[in-house]
Chain A
Amino acid sequence: MSAGDMNLTLKVWRQKNKKTEGKIETYQVAGISPDMSFLEMFDVLNEQLISEGKEPIAFDHDCREGICGMCSMYINGRPHGPKGGITTCQLHMRSFNDGDTIVVEPWRAQAFPVIKDLVVDRTAFDRIQAAGGFISVNTGNAQDANSIPISKEDADEAFAAAACIGCGACVAACKNASAMLFVSAKVSQFALLPQGQPERKMRVERMVAQMDEEGFGSCTNTGACSAECPKEISLEHIARLNREYLGAKLTSQGV
């Protein structure tokens, strides 16, 4: 059952490091099973390259179950490939046909420089989080967990925002390479919860300022980010972010 009979042509972005220029290389893979994941198909290709004495293709991946947010392939012009609501590692070859040509590129954004081949540097997201994506509570300070009742609706909505895996598909999908969906998900999660209120204004101002500093583009409400998001984070969070930001700017001391 392991060996399949799909034959594919792959056009893959190869780039030695961030300083050198990259280009598309063409590879053939044979005997692919529809039960393989897209990354397992890449494993087959890489083993093939190694046996030919060629350098395998570098790509980011880790959990291979759609939750760590590490995998990041731009497949046939779409982040994480042709199916909605999943990451690259959850994409299976049964979504393709024998004989297909598949083009695979890294995330492309000024704020995500290429490290090698399909691997990009997403530490800008960490810096945005460090700027304000937290509740300042030191360990040991907390009161009993049930002393703050939170309505199920708010808790569920905060959870829906918190489901973001930080993969960066939103940035890759956006024609402006905007990080608004990522930032709005974190801002929303905390804005919806009572625990997030004390730092509410400062948080949104700082995170947006850091986002701008990292070189992400502006949001023009196209909605590609949400359409391509593997966790289907809603555009409503961007609307909330805009309200939060405007409210903060109108009333705060400024950051």
Chain B
Amino acid sequence: MATSPKLNAKIPDGPLEDKWTKYRSTVALVNPANKRKLEIIVVGTGLAGASAAATLAELGYSVKAFCFQDSARRAHSIAAQGGINAAKNYQNDGDSTYRLFYDTIKGGDYRAREGNVYRLAQVSASIIDQCVAQGVPFAREYGGLLSNRSFGGTQVQRTFYAAGQTGQQLLLGAYSGLQRQVGLGTVKMYSRHEMLDVVVIDGKCRGIIARNLVTGEVERHFGHAVLLCTGGYGNVFYLSTNAMGSNVTAAWKAHKKGAFFGNPCFTQIHPTCIPVSGDHQSKLTLMSESLRNDGRIWVPKKKDDNRPANQIPEDERDYYLERRYPAFGNLVPRDIASRAAKERCDAGYGVGTSKMAVYLDYSAAIQRYGKGEVNKLNIHDASAEKITELGKAVVKEKYGNLFDMYKQITGEDPYEVPMRIYPAVHYTMGGLWVDYNLMTTVPGLYALGEANFSDHGANRLGASALMQGLADGYFVIPYTIGAYLANEIRTNAIPTDHPAFVEAEKQVKDRISKLVSIKGKTSPEAFHKRLGKIMWDKCGMARNEAGLKEAISEIQALKKEFWSDVRVMGDVDEFNPELDKAGRVADFIELGELMCRDALNRNESCGGHFREEYQTEEGEALRDDENYMYVAAWEHAGESQWELHKEDLVYENIKIAQRSYK
């Protein structure tokens, strides 16, 4: 194998530890007077977008930021619950930059780049410093210092958190920095705007076409560079933990304009979500991975055991994660925990009315914490009730909002009965292919955060998404963008009556007119549901060749039907959420096909990508390093046509091995 000549990852030479420090000190700079003349467009205002927009504006660039929500503060990063990793080693438990790097590469099943991941681990500590300086109220110990907890796939405590609302607090921190720049006039904010195309002039990205979602007006915006910070595409499955509006449209438009799509089939199915309750369901709710710190996961040892959980004695319970993976127990990485839950349910041991759920049980933790409190408070001869009461109070402090959320949704009290959980689509490791500078294959077009493919390989570790989003925005792009913009200081702003802008705008408007003119019988929502079912059944937690081939032809048929039978109510020149949704679903349909093709191409199992044909005797993912240790970067080449380019993954510092958490 050899890396495609079209893919130059631009990883700096030299020892792993020095790559970033050396690169950072030698990358081209733009002087302050020139920065003011350079315009940068940032699409999306989640952790990556808000932190990038604020930081670039602080540096002096002229920034325009776009989001489809009514406020930058509502981007879906807000919903991240459990925490953010950083190699601070505050707990003195042996953490280091190298360990975070190693855990991330191993957790990703050896399908991520060493150079990028090491840099991520290096800057992780600065993120925590920055957030605390901004006033992010992380959880603290009584001594006033920051508190940490464990997350899956690691044996150290390196996760910083703010109850079960870490994403919210980090995003509000980044948002406050962004609003500060808006107030100073260095960022112009366009909320309720959706990017519908990128504009490429002479091979370089020079702006975007966006639709004002309130007035329906289609607008042209110039930028010397464009940053897509538009998140992941988990909603291709219809049901996921993503927000309803999360979509692939910006990334997909970029893909069709020449940006290669990296590892599209790498999807993360999160093990601990509230199970589906019926066909009406519009989204799934995550129960934070942090719950696996203290909760124990089990199913009955007997098939079709219909007794209530509390009536099943201890020796008739199968704590299957502790049984199969004694070294990591309930804290195995997400892909492994999800597959193990599916295996038990498929084998007939599932619980609840649907039998597609397992228990996440807090009774042992409540007792353990209760006894700890009794000791702390010096209570002698404490009654069982007192211990339980005190234990519940500790659990409430740590996870109260999650328990409340569970109760609100299911009507059951998790302090009294074990929670029922099942895996659900949560995150996409795949995304636009980017080089070390976070630039896509289109010069001047960048992708940050979940929108790019870069750091998590085939499986992301818990609490690493927030880390990557903020790393890209606060500490990577502000440096790496200089490598490009230093050569753009002589480029004057291109007027938006340039033919490339006119043409791109026309294409956007034509597509919108097409969508509303079909006047078919089926709503965009109904198409979305059907796509989701195909994807979940055939390109979900387990995939096989026959199923993927069926999925591809079903998706192609669905696409035809969509473009002849979709019904979009309302007008184009007004606030019209149905029209917004129709455009997003059309893009998801095309992406779905590419995901299936990528999954079909990858004849191995790795991380979240599990091909049934490739597994060990124990049912673990079986990689094929000889043939598939590469990034699959897909180039769009016409309708339903793609060309595959390969970027070889080279491991110089880590010895690759079969991933084991046993």
Contact = CB atoms under 8 A, between A and B. Distances in A.
Interface of A: 1-3, 16-17, 33, 35-37, 39-40, 43-44, 47, 49-51, 53-56, 58, 60-70, 85-86, 90, 92, 94, 115-116, 119, 121-123, 125-126, 129-146, 148-152, 155-156, 158-159, 162-163, 165-166, 189-190, 193, 195-196
A90 B144 contact: no
Interface stretch (B133-141, B301-309, B316-324): B133-141
B523 A134 contact: no
Contacts of A126: 71-73, 179, 182, 189, 191
A94 to B, nearest CB: 6
Interface in B430-486: 474-475, 478
Contacts of A44: 280
A50 B245 CA distance: 19
Given A65-B285, A69-B73, A195 B180 contact: no
User: What's the dominant secondary structure at chain A's contact region?
Assistant: loop
B383 interface: no
Given A39-B282, A50-B523, A139-B55, 20 more contacts: A1-B277, A49-B569, A62-B76, A64-B285, A68-B74, A68-B76, A68-B78, A69-B74, A70-B69, A70-B74, A115-B575, A121-B70, A123-B70, A134-B179, A137-B130, A137-B134, A139-B478, A149-B144, A159-B137, A189-B137
Interface stretch (B403-411, B416-424, B530-538): B403-411
Given A121-B70, A139-B58, A189-B135, A149 B570 contact: no
Interface string B547-574: 0000000000000000000010110001
Nearest to A90: B408
Given A58-B577, A135-B135, A152 B180 contact: no
Given A54-B569, A64-B243, A145 B132 contact: yes
Interface in B198-246: 214, 243-245
A111 to B, nearest CB: 14
A94 B411 contact: yes
Contacts of B526: 47
Contacts, number: 230
B132 A142 contact: yes
Contacts of B95: none
Given A68-B79, A116-B575, A159 B163 contact: yes
Nearest to A83: B408
B545 interface: no
B132 A195 contact: yes
Contact of B569 (A55, A61, A193): A55
A62 B77 CA distance: 12
B525 interface: yes
Contacts of B353: 1
A63 B169 contact: no
Interface in B82-123: 88, 90
B132 A138 contact: no
6 contacts: A2-B280, A17-B574, A40-B282, A43-B525, A65-B405, A139-B475
A35 B278 contact: yes
B492 interface: no
A147 B243 CA distance: 36
A176 to B, nearest CB: 23
A94 B58 CA distance: 49
